[in-house]
Structure 1
Amino acid sequence: MAYEIPVTQARAELADLINRVVYGGERVVVTRHGKPLVALVSAADLERLESAPGAGEERAIGSVSDLGDAPSAPREHRRFGIAAEHRPHGG
């Protein structure tokens, strides 16, 4: 069974939640208004889920390098309070 936590509390306790997942073997479900948003699972759990028969066509991103370049929408930096952005060499 997974531990449920509201998103506002999860934001404040992220490091502790990561430790619970990695070292305690727990699964954490982050909720908003009582409805599940996301689940935190260990990398080993994710690998098992993805390799299970009938796991479907979709797969989680394996690494940040799999993301590629994705430009931000106009005004999103100000909306989310992002103070810096990654720019490739020469860009």
Structure 2
Amino acid sequence: MAYEIPVTQARAELADLINRVVYGNERVVVTRHGKPLVALVSAADLERLEAQQETAEDLAGSVVSEIHPLSSAPGEQGRFGIAARHRPQGT
């Protein structure tokens, strides 16, 4: 669970909030009118989040690359004015 604080109060307590994040291993959510605005996380948390994002993107890319292309219905390329064709790698 993250500690929530209004932006007006966060301005006055920024140094303390940074210490809570770095040394207390807390996550701080800064709010405006009760709605989350930004989050303060440690650099280690950020690295983990970015690594997870890269892993998810790599997984999505590998799944997409495994999808086999479908051929167009006869005449569809001409109907839509498509002049180029995709050639699989190695051809």
TM range (shorter): 0.5 to 0.7
Bigger-Rg structure (1/2): 2
The amino acid across from 1:33 in the alignment is H
Unaligned runs of 5+ in 1: 57-91
Task: Please name the residue that 2:45 is paired with.
Answer: 45
d(CA) in 1 for partners of 2:7, 2:41:
16
The amino acid across from 1:30 in the alignment is V
Q: Which string of whole-angstrom CA distances, capped at 9 and with x for unpartnered residues, describes residues 32-88 of structure 1? A: 0000000000000000000013269xxxxxxxxxxxxxxxxxxxxxxxxxxxxxxxx
d(CA) in 2 for partners of 1:7, 1:55:
33
Is 1:54 matched with 2:56? yes
Query: What secondary structure, in the 3-state scheme, does the structure 2 residue paired with 1:39 have?
Result: strand
Map of 1:1-91 to 2, 5 A cutoff?
A: 1-52=1-52, 53-54=55-56
TM-score, normalised by the number of residues in structure 1: 0.59
**Alpha-carbon shift at residue 19 of structure 1 (Å):** 0.1
Unaligned runs of 5+ in 2: 59-91
More helix by share: 2
TM-score, normalised by the number of residues in structure 2: 0.59
Q: Which runs of 4+ in 1 moved over 4 A?
A: none
Aligned residues: 56
Query: What secondary structure, in the 3-state scheme, does the structure 2 residue paired with 1:50 have?
Result: helix
